Amino acid sequence: MQDIFVNSIMSETVVCTSLDATLQDVTTLMRDSKCSCVVVTENDIPVGIVTEFDFIRLLASRGAREVFSAIRVSGIMSRPVVSITENTTLFDALVITTARKFRHLPVVDADGKLKGIVNLVDLAQAHFHTYEKQREIIEQTISTRTRELVEANDKLKALSFVDALMGIGNRRAMEVDLEHSHAQAARYGRSYSVALFDFDFFKRYNDTYGHLAGDYALKTVAGAIAGRIRTADRVYRYGGEELLLLLPETELDGAEILVERVMHAIRGVAIPHCKSPYGVVTLSCGIASFPLAGENCSSWRDVVAIADQEMYRAKHNGRNRSCRLRPKKLAENIRDSLLVLEPDPHFAGA
């Protein structure tokens, strides 16, 4: 199936304003153009976006009697603006809007200049059209063309960004979200953290209770994590029994507090595990943040790799705990992770 790109569904007519525009100017623009957002630009580069939600937030905090003409748009716009490029795929754009709960995404060219805008309705309609097209292919070939059916069904599955078992984001959606989050953080000098979780003694659990029970444990723990995180946080299935938690705008200390809250919730679920020394299903977790002190992380993969090292350090230290990257050189952290002492026989295994 050929990818659908944003430039084929975006609206090229974008209502724009400048940083020194007043709220009265913006309300007039929105009324006359019958649009729900106005993009704030400087030299054709989007620097913010004003939506109807910004007005609701303003009214709730300052009251309806505020003199709009005295308020500059730069004081209420959402910033930094999250934009996408013209060659962003439909899938990637859907992941960004869904993960971050955005309704509008300005589209920019290679120089960062505004080219258009897409909204959630545009994306949903395009996704639905693609889904229906794939369904028609399946229906037309189901009786005679088995090979084509399997191929079409695989492409249909590729449209999904939710893990069918756990009900959280899948690996493909995770990579898109991390790629975009890392680029935004690097561009605007922001922080983000990742926490990588791995089930303790999960092979023993499956061998003892069966794979159906293992699936139940995965789904239950994923739900417990999703129920304890903030609205802006996102949880994904990293692979197998590993989960990744993305914490935007969060430095290392804050991430450690949030992870401990999640670990406490998982212990509270208390899924029995007679082959674990803890008696219940537990997880080990590694935490890393961007930007890292003294390290040049050019990709989100560098951050996840460090979280992975810390997760294995938590395993070595007894499991059912989290470890975080300390403010020292990466080489020292990796060296510490590899200094494996004689393991406790009670804690042998995955």
Alpha carbons 268 and 262: distance in angstroms, whole number: 10
Listed in sequence order, the DSSP H helices in the chain are 23-33, 52-62, 90-100, 120-141, 146-158, 171-188, 202-209, 211-226, 252-269, 300-316, 330-338
DSSP for 39-107, please give it: EEEETTEEEEEEEHHHHHHHHHHH-TT--GGGSBGGGTSBSS---EETT-BHHHHHHHHHHHT-SEEEE
Are 236 and 244 in contact by the 8 Å Cβ rule? The answer is: yes
235 with 244: CB under 8 angstroms? yes
**Spatial separation of the C-alpha atoms in residues 163 and 234, rounded to whole Å:** 13
Nearest 5°: phi and psi at 245? Answer: -110, 120
First to last CA, the chain: 39
Q: How many residues does the chain have?
A: 350
CA triple 122-127-132, angle to 5 deg: 130
* Pick from 177, 179, 180: nearest CA to 162: 177
Which DSSP symbol is given to 143? T
Amino acid identity for residue 29 in this structure: L
Q: Which candidate in 241, 251, 256, 310 is catalytic?
A: 241
Q: Is 241 a catalytic residue?
A: yes
Q: Which residues are catalytic?
A: 241
